[in-house]
Each structure stands twice: as C-alpha cells, then as structure tokens.
Amino acid sequence: METIRIKYLSDKIEKLRYIDGKSDWIDLRAAERIELKQGEFRLIPLGIAMELPKGFEAHIVPRSSTFKNFGVIQTNHCGIVDESYCGNNDQWFFPALAMKDTVIEENDRICQFRIFEHQPAIAFEETDNLSNKNRGGIGSTGKK
C-alpha cells in the first residue's frame, strides 16, 4: 500500500478518506464558500497539498453530480498534478466555469481524484501497415 503525505490548508473541510470496495476515486471538497455568476471563472481552493509518491500523478475530475448540483464545469476537463507539485503551499484547485449563478458552500464535494503511475518511456516506429483488422474509422464501433 502506498502512503501519501497530505497537508490540510483548511480546518473546515472533512479529511480525505479512501473507501475500499466502493470506488478508486477520492472526493475533494471546496475549502471556502464560493459565489459565482453565470459565465464567471474561479479557481476553487480544495484545502490540501500532497506529496505524491515518486512516479505517480493525480488526475482530478468533476464528480458525476457536480454540474447538476452546482452548474459548473471544470475548464481543463481533467487536471493533472505530478509529484513535483508537493510544497507546503502547493494547494490543489478546481478551475470552475459557472454556467448559471451558483453558490458552492465550504466543504461541498465538488471533484474527485485518483492517482496513476506515470506512463513508461515509449518509442514510436513509423510504418505503412499496421497489420490489424480495419474497423472502418470514427464512429464504426456501433455498426453491424
């Protein structure tokens, strides 16, 4: 089991917890109350900084209910935090664009993360023939 060192930058949010058997994703919470008007952008502080294990990165995405509950979308669609972003003040943020007027309360669960190992080193070899069955291009997976 990997151990991740975490520093809480807010005492108002619940501590992170991994719920074994439920999901590999861990919820992150707003560290302050945020009011947004439609069309407004804001980096929402998540109240944590982490020291990820060497060779790992965190992927941060919205929860499935984030848009329904708050009317915001994550502007980078998937945030990536690598192990070099690990200082005492390297707080994680959720970049939100409001699609309607909304209020996100302190401690609301607005996004989630999981960690992945870095991609191994790869090399590309150019070829004229991939020698696999042709599936028919984009949109072909639903054809009979």
108 is catalytic: no
DSSP E strands in the chain: the ranges are 5-8, 26-29, 34-36, 41-45, 48-51, 56-62, 72-74, 79-82, 93-98, 102-104, 109-117
Q: What is the pTM of this model?
A: 0.84
- Domain 5-120: CATH superfamily, name plus number: Deoxyuridine triphosphatase (dUTPase) (2.70.40.10)
Sketch the domain layout of the chain as residue ranges.
5-120
User: Which of the residue ranges 56-60, 112-116, 138-142 would you say has the lowest mean pLDDT?
Assistant: 138-142
Given a cut of 90, whether residue 24 has pLDDT beyond it is no
100-132: pLDDT as tens digits = 999 999 999 999 999 999 999 999 999 988 887
Q: Among 18, 21, 43, which residue's Cα sits nearest to residue 115?
A: 18
Better pLDDT: 63 or 3: 63
Q: Which of 20, 82, 101, 108 is catalytic?
A: 82
